[in-house]
Amino acid sequence: MSSTDKPTNFLQNIISEDVQSGKTKQLVTRFPPEPNGYLHIGHAKSICLNFGLAQEFGGTCNLRFDDTNPEKESQEYVDAIQKDIAWLGFEWNGEAKFASNYFGQLFEWAQHLVREGKAYVCELSAEESREYRGDFTRPGKNSPYRDRPAEESLDLLDKMKDGELAEGSASLRAKIDMSSGNMNLRDPVLYRIRHVSHHNTGDTWKIYPTYDFAHGQEDSIEGVTHSICTLEFQDHKPLYEWLLESMPVPSQPRQYEFARLNLNYTITSKRKLKALVDSGVVDGWDDPRMPTIAGLRRRGYTAKAIRRLCDMAGVTRSDSVVDLGMLEFAIRDELDKNAPRSMCVLRPLKLVLTNYPEDKTEVMTGPYHPQRDDMGFREMPFSRELWIEQEDFREEANKKFKRLVIGKRVRLRNAYIIEADAAVKDAAGNITEVHARIIENTVGNDPEDGIRAKGVIHWVDAPSAVSCAINLFDRLFTHESPGSGDEDFMEQLNPDSLVELKGCYSEASLAKAEIGKGFQFERQGYFTRDSRSEDLVFNQTIGLRDSQGKFNS
């Protein structure tokens, strides 16, 4: 992120003023994911923002896992999150940090709140707590345990910590204002009992702090100067500040909110994404149809394209929905400029060149990129039998069809012009072969008889072709805003979001295609080798053109 090549956003303005005034000696930001799922495209904006601001202003950015909810967290998610951030091109300050590293200090501060008369142990049931809390139309009422002596609350808090009280039987609550119009200030829960193992602390703790209690104090311990959150935490800010002011914390960070990245035709709720995984709708968090960083990477999206989307979306205080086509434009534009070209036949049809010698093989050459001389050329064997696309041949067609028709000519990409003579069919009437003739001396030349080809089709040499499988993808949801209103997002899945093609054929050079490298299959789209298959499988990253017509490279 650089202030020299794009408009300055409000966070850059705030930080610049703080640095220039001396209020901030060194900028410290943080990215604080909960390890309860894989990162998604919405997280990418927060990552780019927090790490980008630190880079721009010569500061540091911490990676801190807010692991306060052990039932839903795991080491798998911790590892995946670190991998995604590094892949996006960012490096966090020092070792990765964990909320669980501070559990001892947080508990001492909780005791401090009780001693100061600012917190108490409440024994209302969950149902009773909801009733006492009130709602947006009526104020809450004080818990009958609100004014219990501090010594009694401290004793109960120790019993909670030592596992002597059952789950749900008690909680530690802040003593703020049950009549507040901000529901977050109605004596929020600070600690709850959980008799479960933690991925980092094992069975040491029987109580765990809430996110609201832990977050600001973690920021303070780490010396975070600017705690940058999405707008959903705006209503939590008064509680964030109240807690910091009520405890002997080492520093006073400030919270600032920005609008999260929302894409249409996409869900970014980790709960819903997990439901897709658990129900088998997708084959994991890194399914190429998923909006996770891992899924986008497996599909062939690049870190550069994702960062570009975040730049294009901008940083504002107003929530909005970004068209998914913007992300598709970013990757299509990058691959168009940088992806080497190759040929692959997805639905093969045998083409026999009847006037080409059976024992002859030539080597055709083609550029790896038509506008990139620095990428060089590739060699492609050419012989009597080739594979072409089924859709590139018709026995009869009107003038709008610019591909192979009996009695008409087309050019084979980087090779001869050919003319079709006949179609061979099986007993059911299906075309199994096309017979055609090469027009001599037309490699790189027009035919001597002046009858030019009407179009160009791609091909693969049959003897040297490599068999592969192709996964074609469409958007996972048919609805622009999946799950909105009372709709069930599971009922809005696109049944054609994945088409698996077997028995495809590619140029021999693709047998050793590098995982993570993007290719343009000429006339087909952009593809990358699947990272989870031991066989040769290519995932479609994006088509050659924007099918929605909104973004054009």
Please provide the distance, in angstroms rounded to a whole number, between the alpha carbons at the two ends of the chain.
23
Kindly give, in sequence order, each residue whose CB lies less than 8 Å from that of residue 269, ignoring residues fewer than 6 positions away: 483
Q: Is the pLDDT of residue 3 over 60?
A: no
Look up residue 255 and give its two tokens. Answer: 């919270």
Q: Are 45 and 88 in contact (CB under 8 A)?
A: no
Q: Percentage of residues in the chain with pLDDT exceeding 70?
A: 97
Catalytic site residue from 45, 192, 254, 270? 270
Q: Tell me if residue 402 is catalytic.
A: no
The residue among 291, 328, 304 whose CA lies nearest residue 90 is: 304
Q: Tell me if residue 534 is catalytic.
A: no
Which domains can be identified in the chain, with CATH numbers? 10-260 (3.40.50.620), 270-340+468-542 (1.10.1160.10), 344-458 (2.40.240.10)
Measured in whole angstroms, how far is the alpha carbon of residue 302 from the centre of its chain? 11
Q: Are 421 and 438 in contact (CB under 8 A)?
A: no
User: DSSP letter at 34?
Assistant: -
Average pLDDT over residues 177-204: 97
Going across the sheet that includes 28-31, the strands are 28-31, 60-65, 97-98
Query: How many alpha carbons fall within 13 Å on the CB side of residue 106?
Result: 27
CB atoms within 10 A of CB 96: 15
Catalytic site residue from 34, 123, 395, 480? 34
Q: Tell me if residue 260 is catalytic.
A: yes
Give the 3-state secondary structure percentages of the chain, helix then strand then coil, rounded to 5.
Answer: 30, 25, 45
Measured in whole angstroms, how far is the alpha carbon of residue 119 from the centre of its chain? 40
Q: Is the pLDDT of residue 7 over 60?
A: no
Cα gap 193→106, rounded to integer Å? 15
Measured in whole angstroms, how far is the alpha carbon of residue 446 from the centre of its chain? 47
Average pLDDT along the chain: 95
Q: pLDDT by residue (tens digit) across 416-461?
A: 999 999 999 999 999 999 999 999 999 999 999 988 898 999 999 9
Cα gap 122→192, rounded to integer Å? 10
Cα distances from 176 to residues 180, 185, 241, in angstroms, run 9, 6, 12
Q: Is the pLDDT of residue 2 over 70?
A: no
Look up residue 186 and give its two tokens. Answer: 């109605």
pLDDT number for residue 551:
46
pLDDT number for residue 548:
54
Q: Is the pLDDT of residue 518 over 50?
A: yes
pLDDT number for residue 506:
97
User: DSSP letter at 5?
Assistant: S
Average pLDDT over residues 65-84: 97
Residue tagged 């590619």 (tokens):
506
AA identity, residue 429 = G
Average pLDDT over residues 512-529: 96
Cα gap 126→196, rounded to integer Å? 19
Cα gap 216→391, rounded to integer Å? 60
Average pLDDT over residues 471-478: 97
The full length of the chain comes to 553
pLDDT number for residue 545:
83
Catalytic site residue from 260, 347, 394, 413? 260
Radius of gyration of the CA atoms of the chain, in A: 31
Q: pLDDT by residue (tens digit) across 229-260?
A: 999 999 999 999 999 999 999 999 999 999 99
Look up residue 484 and give its two tokens. Answer: 């909105």
Q: Are 43 and 262 in contact (CB under 8 A)?
A: no
pLDDT number for residue 454:
87
Q: pLDDT by residue (tens digit) across 264-300?
A: 999 999 999 999 999 999 999 999 999 999 999 999 9
Cα gap 387→159, rounded to integer Å? 74
Cα gap 330→46, rounded to integer Å? 18
Cα gap 121→330, rounded to integer Å? 52
Query: Could you tell me whether strands 171-174 and 119-122 are parallel, antiparallel, or unpaired per DSSP bridges?
Result: antiparallel
Q: pLDDT by residue (tens digit) across 330-350?
A: 999 999 999 999 999 999 999
Average pLDDT over residues 208-219: 97
The residue among 24, 82, 25, 545 whose CA lies nearest residue 325 is: 545
Range with the lowest mean pLDDT among 7-16, 145-154, 181-190, 281-290? 7-16
Q: Is the pLDDT of residue 552 over 90?
A: no
**DSSP per-residue letters across 126-184:** HHHHHHHH--SSS-----TTTTS-HHHHHHHHHHHHTT-S-TTS-EEEE-S-TT-SSGG
The residue among 329, 231, 313, 318 whose CA lies nearest residue 6 is: 313
Q: pLDDT by residue (tens digit) across 353-373?
A: 999 999 999 999 999 999 999
Compute the CA torsion angle 396, 398, 401, 404 (nearest 10 deg). Answer: 30
pLDDT number for residue 4:
46
Structure confidence at residue 66 as a pLDDT band (50, 70, 90) = very high
